[in-house]
Amino acid sequence: MVALVFKIVGIGGGIEGLVMESVKTLHEAFDSKVNYVTYGSVPNELFNPRRSQYRADMINLWLYNVFSNRLRSNEYLVAIIDVDAYVPGLNFVFGLATPPLKIASVYVPRLRFMATTEEGKVIERVRKEVMHEVGHLLGLEHCSNASCVMRFSNSIFDTDAKSWKYCIRCAEKLRSLGIKVSKEYVLS
């Protein structure tokens, strides 16, 4: 089995609890070592003032430039970022994985939608998004199983409807790649 290592980067104030829950989730799901660091802010030049959003694909490239020399060969970077983001062709993204760079980013503002007084709801949504983007980093595509965390989310309602676990088919694909997923993170 492949020994995975994750580096979680928290960018933005007031998200420490979300980041620590993500550290716990990845450690439990993959029996992996998870390192946590904070970083100041996303550069202003990645902000599109016409949209009032940041470019997620450019953020992942920026993360690569900042952290690539600090990543080991078996290490993946997941950034939890408190900015709203998009990629060309989409109104917004909850997260974005760039597998060749071994980098994923998760964007918190839209995951807070209609959950301002329910911190547990936001934690659950961030957990789902982290597991989804890590799935992409590890080689998974979107899944047709409505309960699988790899199901595409077009809205926050789609995110709420799915689980934070991989379906059996997705978990088996990860196992075939030498990646062990804890049974608590696989749908039964």
Active site residues: 133
Task: Record the tokens describing residue 124, joined without a space.
Answer: 């659950």
3-state percent breakdown (helix, strand, coil) of the chain, nearest 5: 40, 20, 40
Quote the CA–CA distance of 113 and 110 in Å, as a whole number. Answer: 5
Determine the Cα angle at 17 with ends 72 and 77, to 5°: 20
Query: In sequence order, which residues have a C-beta less than 8 Å from that of residue 72 and are 6 or more positions away?
Result: 5
Task: Record the tokens describing residue 38, joined without a space.
Answer: 């904070």
Query: In sequence order, which residues have a C-beta less than 8 Å from that of residue 169 and are 6 or more positions away?
Result: 143, 145, 148
Cα 25 to the center of its chain, rounded Å: 11
